[in-house]
Structure 1
Amino acid sequence: MRIGSNPEKNNKEIFVDNYHRVIVPVYIPNFEGYFANLFEVFKLCLESLLLTSHTKTRITIYNNNSHPDVKNYIDAKYRDFELIDQVFHSKENLGKINAILAASKGNIEPLITITDADVLFKNDWQKVIESTFVNFPEAGMVSPVPSSKVFKMFTANNWYYGFFKGKLTFEKVEDPDAMHKFDLSLGNKELMYKPIHLEKYLVLKNNKGSAVMGCGHFVATLKREVLDKGSNVPAFTKIGGGVERLFIDTPNEELGFLRLATKGNFAYHMGNSAETWMNEEFNSLIKNNENPNFTAHEFCAKPISFLGRKFGYFVKFVLARSKKSTIMLLNFYGLQSNQY
C-alpha cells in the first residue's frame, strides 16, 4: 500500500550541468599470460583520465567480471573521486559494446568518450576534441589520436565536405614519434605505417579550424546520437568481428556525420604492458581544474545533407574499387607518392 505522494513527481525535469561522459569498459580476469601486467596499465589509464579531465566530465567504469583486486581498486576510486559517478559490476563478461550501450543509454550528456582500458590520456585531450566539435558542427566522431591510414574508412561524409564546404590538403604529421609508438603498441609482426605515413596525413579544413581525416575507435568521442542509432539490439560479440563497425562506424556515417582526429597526439595506446616512457609521460601530467565555458547546446548534431551523403558514398566507392583513382586523388591534394 502506497502512503503519500512521491515528491519527485513535482520535480520531473532532469538537468545535468556536465556535458562530457567517459565510458571505460575493463576486463582483467586474472594476472596471468596476456593479462599479467594489464592491471598496472589500467591504473595508468584511469589515473591519467582523472588527472586530465575537466570539471564538467563524469566517468562511468563498466567492470566486465574482472579479478576481485581490480573490482576493489575501482570501488576505491569511485569513493575517492567525484568525477567517477557510476560503476557497473557484471558477473559475466558482456563485451565492450554492451558495456558502452548500457552506460550511454542511461545518461544524457551530448558528448560520450569511449575508451579502452589501456589508453594513457595527455593534458588538453578534451580541449582539442571539444574545440574540434565546435569548429566542425557536422562531426559525430573525433579521436585524440591521429592516423594517416584511415582516410578512406567510413569517411564518405568527409569527402563531400572536403569538396564543397571546406578544403582537403596533405600536411606534415605533427608528432610522428607518437604515431610510431602507436604502431609498436599493436604488437604486430610488421609495422602498419610506412615512412610516408609518418610524414604526411590528409587534413580537412574550414575557416574555423582543421582536423585529420578519419580515426580509429580504441579511444574516440562521439555525439550521443551515434550510439542511440546503433543500439537497437544488443551485441552478441564481445570484441572484434566487426562489432564496432556495426554499432559505431556505420551509424556515424549513415547519420551524415564527419569522422575526424586531432592533428596533435593527445593520448597513447599502451597495449598490455607498461613501459618506462609511459610512466614518464604520466609523471608529466598536470591536474586539470578547468571549468569550461561550453554548454550542451554547442554540441547539437548538424549532419551532412542527404544528397551530400550520396555524393560521399560515390567517392568512397570509386576509391575502394580503384587504386589508380586513389593515387590520382592523393596527387591532386599534394601527396606525390604511390606508396601511401
Structure 2
Amino acid sequence: MRVGFNPHKDQQQEESEYLHQIIIPVYIPNQDEYFKDSFSIFKLCISSLFATIHNKTFITIVNNGSGSFVKEYLNELLEQNKIHEVIHVQNIGKLNAILKGLAGNNIELVTITDADVLFLDNWQNETTKVFRAFPKAGVVGIVPQFNMFKNKCGNIILDNLFNKNLKFIPINSTKGLIRFYDSIGWDKSYNKDYLKFSLGLEKNEIKVFVGSGHFVATYKKQMFNELKLYLNYKLGGGSEEYLDMMPLKYDYWRVTTYDNYAYHMGNVYEDWMFESKHDKNEWIEIDSNFTKHKLTSTFKFKLKNIMFTKVLLNDSALKLFYKWKKLPKSMVNNFNNIIPK
C-alpha cells in the first residue's frame, strides 16, 4: 500500500555544481604475473589525480570485475569523500564500463582515462585553455604521440588546409614522447624525426598538436547524449572506435596539448614514477559553457573523414603536404617511415 505522495515526484534535477567529470575504468583481478604491480600503479594514478584537479571535479571509478582488494580500496575512498561515485560491475569490458560511467550525469567535460596514467600539474588548466581557444575542439588529449594527425583528423586538416597556422611545429617535450613509447614496449628503432616535429595548429598563442590518443583524453560530454548501450568486446576488437568516431559525427576536432601533461605507466612499477612532485595548482578561472555542435550531415562527414582522408594519406600527396606545411626538407622523404631508411 502507498500512502501520500512522493515529495520528489515531477521535480526537475538541479543543475550540477560540477564542471568536469573523470571516469576511470579499472580491472585488476589479482596481484600476480601481468597484474603484479597494477594495484600500486593504480594508487599512484589516483593520488596524482587528487593532486592536480580543481574542486569542481566529479570522480567516477568503475570497478570492472577487479579483486576484492580493489573493491575495498574504492569503497574506502568513497566513504572518505575523496571520490564521488563508485560503480561495481562484473567484467563487462572496458568500453561498457566507460558507458556505465557516462550515464546518469550531465557534466560539461568528461575525461576518460586508463587506470595507469600519472597526471602532471596543470593538465586540467591546459585542457580547458584549449577548449576555450579552439571552439571546434571536441577531444583534447594531454600526451602527444607520433603521427596522430593521420588518425581520424580529416575534418580539422580540411578546415585549416589554407590556414598558415596549420604547420609542422617542434616537439615541446621529447622526454614525454620517449617515455610514452618506452611504456608501451617499443624499442628505439623508430624514426627519430618523430621526436622533433609533428603537425600542429596555433591560435591566440595557444598551440596544439593535431589528433589525439584515447588512453587519456577529455571530451565534450554533449556528444554522448545518445549513448550506445552495449559493445561486444572486453578490450580492443574495434570497441575503442566508438570513442574515436563520436567526435567526428559532430564535426569536432581531435587535438592534443602542446606540452606533455601525463605519463603512461604501464604494468611495471618503476622508480621514475616517483619523480613527479606536485605543486599547488592555481585556479584563476574555471571555464564552462563551451561551444556545442549538432550532428553533422552524412555528406560532410564522408567528405572530410573518408574522401579527403583517402586522398591526403596517399604517399605522394603526403610528401607535398609535408613540404607545404613546412616540415624540414631533410625529413620529408622519410617521414612516412616508422624506421628511417
Correspondence for 2:339: none
Correspondence for 2:68: 68
The structure 1 residue matched to 2:291, chosen from 300, 316, 324, is: 300
Report the Cα offset of residue 76 of structure 1: 1.3
Residue pair 2:99, 2:229 contacting (<8 A) in 1 also: no
Rate the CA distance shift 1:118–1:57 in 2: closer, same or farther, 3 A. same
The structure 2 residue matched to 1:317, chosen from 310, 314, 334, is: 310
Report the Cα offset of residue 187 of structure 1: 1.3
Rate the CA distance shift 1:120–1:137 in 2: closer, same or farther, 3 A. same
Correspondence for 1:52: 52
Correspondence for 2:244: 249
1-structure distance, mates of 2:170, 2:41: 31
Correspondence for 2:88: 89
Correspondence for 1:239: 235
- State the secondary structure of the residue aligned to 1:8: coil
- State the secondary structure of the residue aligned to 2:22: strand
Count of matched residue pairs: 330
Report the Cα offset of residue 103 of structure 1: 1.2
The structure 2 residue matched to 1:279, chosen from 274, 282, 292, is: 274
Residue pair 1:105, 1:228 contacting (<8 A) in 2 also: no
Rate the CA distance shift 1:165–1:260 in 2: closer, same or farther, 3 A. same
The structure 1 residue matched to 2:321, chosen from 305, 329, 334, is: 329
2-structure distance, mates of 1:185, 1:276: 13
- State the secondary structure of the residue aligned to 1:52: coil
Report the Cα offset of residue 9 of structure 1: 3.1
Report the Cα offset of residue 289 of structure 1: 6.8
- State the secondary structure of the residue aligned to 1:240: coil
1-structure distance, mates of 2:334, 2:125: 34
2-structure distance, mates of 1:166, 1:226: 29
- State the secondary structure of the residue aligned to 2:272: helix
Report the Cα offset of residue 139 of structure 1: 1.0
1-structure distance, mates of 2:158, 2:301: 7
Rate the CA distance shift 1:155–1:7 in 2: closer, same or farther, 3 A. same
Residue pair 1:62, 1:99 contacting (<8 A) in 2 also: yes
1-structure distance, mates of 2:138, 2:97: 20
Rate the CA distance shift 1:144–1:59 in 2: closer, same or farther, 3 A. same
Rate the CA distance shift 1:191–1:50 in 2: closer, same or farther, 3 A. same
Structure 1: where are the runs of 5+ without partners?
none
Correspondence for 1:131: 129
**Over the residues paired in the alignment, what is the CA RMSD in angstroms?**
2.0
Rate the CA distance shift 1:136–1:11 in 2: closer, same or farther, 3 A. same
Residue pair 2:18, 2:107 contacting (<8 A) in 1 also: yes
**Aligned AA (2:34):** Y
2-structure distance, mates of 1:111, 1:192: 38
**Aligned AA (2:258):** K
Report the Cα offset of residue 287 of structure 1: 4.4
After TM superposition, the score normalised by the length of structure 2 is: 0.91
Report the Cα offset of residue 51 of structure 1: 1.0
Rate the CA distance shift 1:54–1:192 in 2: closer, same or farther, 3 A. farther
Residue pair 1:56, 1:291 contacting (<8 A) in 2 also: no
1-structure distance, mates of 2:202, 2:282: 30
- State the secondary structure of the residue aligned to 1:260: strand
Rate the CA distance shift 1:198–1:146 in 2: closer, same or farther, 3 A. same
Report the Cα offset of residue 304 of structure 1: 9.4
**Aligned AA (1:301):** K
Residue pair 2:127, 2:218 contacting (<8 A) in 1 also: yes
2-structure distance, mates of 1:154, 1:198: 21
Correspondence for 1:31: 31
Structure 2: where are the runs of 5+ without partners?
336-341
Residue pair 1:144, 1:264 contacting (<8 A) in 2 also: yes
2-structure distance, mates of 1:290, 1:76: 28
Rate the CA distance shift 1:49–1:279 in 2: closer, same or farther, 3 A. same
Residue pair 1:226, 1:248 contacting (<8 A) in 2 also: no
Rate the CA distance shift 1:268–1:203 in 2: closer, same or farther, 3 A. same
2-structure distance, mates of 1:243, 1:324: 32
Structure having the higher helix fraction is 1
Report the Cα offset of residue 168 of structure 1: 0.7
**Aligned AA (1:13):** Q
Correspondence for 2:97: 99
2-structure distance, mates of 1:255, 1:12: 28
Q: Are 1:149 and 2:143 matched, yes or no?
A: no
After TM superposition, the score normalised by the length of structure 1 is: 0.91
Post-superposition CA distance 1:92-117 (Å, at most 9, x none) = 20111111111112110011100000
Post-superposition CA distance 1:196-232 (Å, at most 9, x none) = 0100111022346321000110000011133335x33
- State the secondary structure of the residue aligned to 1:113: strand
Correspondence for 2:338: none
1-structure distance, mates of 2:208, 2:130: 7
1-structure distance, mates of 2:245, 2:17: 30
Percent same amino acid at aligned positions?
35
Rate the CA distance shift 1:304–1:173 in 2: closer, same or farther, 3 A. farther
Residue pair 1:56, 1:292 contacting (<8 A) in 2 also: no
Residue pair 2:61, 2:86 contacting (<8 A) in 1 also: yes
1-structure distance, mates of 2:189, 2:99: 30
1-structure distance, mates of 2:151, 2:188: 19
- State the secondary structure of the residue aligned to 2:156: helix
Report the Cα offset of residue 128 of structure 1: 0.6
Residue pair 1:114, 1:221 contacting (<8 A) in 2 also: yes
- State the secondary structure of the residue aligned to 2:51: helix
The structure 2 residue matched to 1:260, chosen from 238, 246, 255, is: 255
